[in-house]
Amino acid sequence: MRIAIVNDIPNVVEALKSVLAQVPDYKVAWIAGNGTQAVTKCAADTPDLILMDLLMPVMDGVEVTRQIMSDSPCAILLITDTVNGDTSKVFEAMGYGALDAIHAPILGHSGQIEGGAGILEKIATIGKLIGKTSKPSGRIRERGSSPSEFTPPLIVIGSSTGGPQALAVLLSGLPANFSAAVVIVQHVDKQFTSGLAEWLNTQSRLPVKLAQVGSQIQVGQVLIAATNDHLILQPNLSLWYTKEPRDYPYRPSVDVFFKSVAQHWTRKGVAVLLTGMGKDGAQGLLSLRSTGWYTIAQDQATSVVYGMPKAAVELKAAVEILPIEAIAQACEKQFLRSIF
C-alpha cells in the first residue's frame, strides 16, 4: 500500500515513518508539510491512503480533505494530537470523506513509539475496505431471554464515510416530540464516540446518548454505538456489545446490528442506510425489509461515498432511495401512515 504523510511536525513525521516501516508492504509515497503541498502532490500522485494532520499552517486538514476528495479522492485517516480539542474538526473532515481518526504517535519516555499499533490496526482495516471485501463469520453471542411486552416505534440508522454530517442533517429534521426511538451505528473509533454524541446533541432536538451495555430503547431518545465492538439487540430487547465476528473489517458493524434487530424486534420500523465506503449494512437492510420494515437508502447525489447505499440498492434492500434532506420527513410520514 502506498501511503502519504501530511504533517508539519518533524517528530510526528519521523514517528509515522517508523510505524509504517514495521510493515514491508507499506511504502511512503510522499510527505507534505502543509495543506497546499498535500493538495498539489495528491493531484500529481494519488496514493492509496493519506495520514492527514488536522492542524497545519497554510491550509488545515479539513480543507485539505475537502479539496482532495473533490479533485483526486483517496482514503484518508486523520491523525490528531488531541481528541477533545479537535472533535469538531474531526467530524467536519469526516463529513468531506475522511474515513476515521486516531491519536498521533508519540515518543515515550523509554524511547519507544507509543500509539503505533493502533495506527497499524486502522491502516489494516482501511486496506481491507479499499482492496478487498470480507464477509462476517461466527455467531453473535447473545444474553438474556425474556422478550419485552412493549416495543416502541423504532428507527435504526447505519452510516460510515460522511456519516456525521449526514446524521446531523437527518436528526435536525426530526421534531422534539418525535414519537419513536432512534439507534445509530456509525463507523468511528471509540475515542471519538463521546465527542460524536456531544456534537450531534447540538444538531438534534432529541437527546443523543451513547448506548451502554443493557441500555433500553426509549421513545424520544437517540442512542449511538459507543465502542469498537459490535452493537446488538438481545432477545430481551436491551442492547449489548459483542466482539464477534472478530475478523469483520467494519467495527462496529451495521450488518451485525441490523440483523439482530430483524431477529428480535417484533414491531415493524424504519431502517436507514447512509453514506459510506464498502458494503456494510446492505445485507442487514435486506433482512429488515424481508421482515416488513420500511427501508431507506441515501441517494448517490448526496452521499459522500456511494458504497453502502449502492450495495443496498443493488440487493433491492431499499424501499426508497432519497436525498439526505428528505429522509427525516420520510421517517415521519411512516408514522402518519400508521405503519407501526
Catalytic residues, by residue number, are 160, 187, 280
Name beta bridge partners: 28. 3
Distance CA 246, CA 19 (A): 24
Whether a cis peptide bond, with omega within 30° of 0, leads into 252 is: yes
Axis-axis angle for helices 87-95, 193-203 (nearest 10)? 80
| C-alpha triplet 179, 308, 28: angle, nearest 5° | 130
CA–CA separation, 283 and 132 (whole Å): 17
Q: By C-alpha distance, which of 123, 69, 130 is closest to 95?
A: 69
d(CA 33, CA 31): 7
Using alpha carbons, select from 199, 203, 192 the residue that is nearest to residue 77: 192
d(CA 202, CA 331): 21
